[in-house]
Structure 1
């Protein structure tokens, strides 16, 4: 069973989240997290997806919601699902959970910098590409938006 919850910055679950993001998003690109980078997440909404089996619970997916300068818009960042569980609907469920949190916080638009290879996944969930392809962390991305109201 998969459950979702908001994580506390600096907690054990947060450390597991950083490790998952590092493994799925950073190491394949030869990147690591700096302490300064992680400290910027202290006021973000940190979302974890947890899988429970035989009374053992482990973090299997995550994302971050970061406020933007536009008070109506929040940015989804650092979306990751454990490689052994990708393709099983966990990513979709994380997005739906994050959208509901954003709506509850009165945001009208959820935006993201989606990796080009993941753009189709987000399009199936109602996101639209806004602008031209750009490079971030050395790979192609698109800015994508979804209206939440």
Structure 2
């Protein structure tokens, strides 16, 4: 059963989250995390999806301004993709954003992830752009 909760920066769960993100999002692109990059997450809302004690999905909420929060680093273990786990984690993130007083959630979505976000009520804003050497779209949802 999937349990979703926030994670404390620097905790064991956080380190497991970084490993999952590295496995799903970074290594396939030949990228790594720098200590400086990870340090920026200290004030973000860190969200993890767990099966028992094992992290199987995650995302990060980073405030952009008083109204907008950015969803970043959404990752779901390959074995759970297309099972609804990602949608459940995303719904939890939206609840956290609303509770934080935000009225819009936005993201830079990889092109292949756009259908997932559209299915969850997000819209594309603007043209395709390149980030970390792959195509992305800015997407958003009013909360």
CA displacement, residues 72-107 of structure 1 (integer Å, 9 cap, x when unaligned): 000000000011111110000000000000001110
3-state DSSP of counterpart to 2:42:
coil
* Cα distance, 1:44 vs structure 2: 0.2
Q: Residue in 2 aligned with 1:22?
A: 22
Q: Residue in 2 aligned with 1:46?
A: 46
With the length of structure 2 as denominator, give the TM-score of the two structures: 0.99
Q: Residue in 1 aligned with 2:113?
A: 118
* Cα distance, 1:10 vs structure 2: 0.4
| Structure 1: segments with no counterpart, 5+ residues | none
Q: CA RMSD in A?
A: 0.5
| Structure 2: segments with no counterpart, 5+ residues | none
Q: Residue in 2 aligned with 1:137?
A: 132
Q: Residue in 1 aligned with 2:85?
A: 90
Give the length in aligned residue pairs.
143
3-state DSSP of counterpart to 1:31:
coil
Q: Equivalents in 2 of 1:49, 1:121: separation in Å?
A: 17
Moved over 2 A (4+): none
Please say if 1:62 is aligned against 2:58. yes
